[in-house]
Amino acid sequence: MRNAPFVSVYKFSARLVRRSRRSRLLGALGLLPVILAVILQITRAAAAGGGLDGLEVFSNFVMGFSLQFLVLLLSLFFGTAITADEVDNKTLTYPATRPVSKAAFILGKYASSVSFLLVLVLTSTVVSFLILMIDRLSYGTAWTFLGRSLAALGFGTICYTALFTFVGTFLRKSVLIGLVFCFGWENIVQYFPGMTQKFTIMHWLKSLLPGLGGGMGSTEGGGLTAFLLFRHEPSPAGTAVAVLLLLTAVFLALAVAVFSRKEYLFDE
């Protein structure tokens, strides 16, 4: 059976992504929510049922760690690596001298990185949810919250990775610039009032969370969540999804356009 070029690149790249040191290191970071959930649950058990509410802890996890930190960092390192690794390791010559279009190359590699990240982030979120909510699994709002959280994390991974794939195609120090963008622009401008916050991807992701515009469930999130949602003026969930998909498509189109025109010189 003959594979389409995109599928061939995806399969080849998926193997490289699974085996890379980056995946092992950052994969461990992705498991951090699970480890924290276990520790918190043990602490709660020791307090004989007292302590923090499971849903509140989970919402803090999603908002404070997974969405505002983990997804950004993983997307940054995997997205920029799509071309940077090939250039830095001087392996770009191999795919560049195969009958594979540059678009298929970029999109295939992007898809393999995003698949890996989605499995990592979503699995870790679901497992930590199950651990924290073990005694409240029949609570309907909790499942709604999980679903909306997974949607926000999933779209966040897809959109940010596309952005950093694009950045990686034309910047040599893309990680540095990416860090400034993630923890400067995204983490500050999202709290600006009015229209300005809509210039961040985070605004659209937060609009997917429960009780923030979609009308699906709500959370009585505690201090951290309340802080992170400070001044948030949610957009409708449908609009948020459309904007995130559009941004992803634009970033990928730009990445393909730059990659097709740029010459990559190795340091020799």
Partner 1 sequence: MTAGGRILRADKLGKWYGNVLGLSDVSIEIGPGITGLLGPNGAGKSTFMKLITGQLRPSIGTVTIAGQPVWNNPGIFKNVGFCPEQDAFYEDTTGREFLSGLLALGGFPAAEIRERTARALAFVELQADADRLIRGYSRGMRQRLKISQALAHEPEILILDEPLNGLDPLSKRKVIRLIKEYRTEGRTVLVSSHVLPEIEALTRSIILIHQGKILAQGDIHFIRDLIDAHPHIVAVRTGRGRALAAKFVEEDDVRSVRFDEAQGTVLFETRNRDRFFERLTRLAAEEGWEIEEITSPDDNLQSVFDYLVGK
Binding site for partner 1 (CB under 8 A): 1-3, 5, 8-9, 11-12, 15-16, 19-20, 89-91, 93-102, 260, 263-266, 268
Across 169-202, b (16+ Cβ under 10 Å) vs e yields: bebeebbebbeebbeeebbeebbeeeeebbebbb
User: How far is Cα 207 from Cα 193, in angstroms, rounded to an integer?
Assistant: 14
Count CA atoms within 13 Å of residue 257 on its CB side.
6
- The distance of closest approach from Cβ of residue 264 to partner 1 in the complex, given in angstroms and rounded to an integer, is 8
- The distance of closest approach from Cβ of residue 266 to partner 1 in the complex, given in angstroms and rounded to an integer, is 6
- The distance of closest approach from Cβ of residue 104 to partner 1 in the complex, given in angstroms and rounded to an integer, is 9
User: How far is Cα 159 from Cα 157, in angstroms, rounded to an integer?
Assistant: 6
Amino acid identity of 124?
Answer: S
Asked if 186 contacts 202 with a C-beta cutoff of 8 angstroms, the reply is yes
Q: ∠ CA(112), CA(116), CA(118), 5° rounding? A: 115
- Give how far the C-alpha of residue 201 lies from the chain's centroid of Cα atoms, to the nearest Å: 11
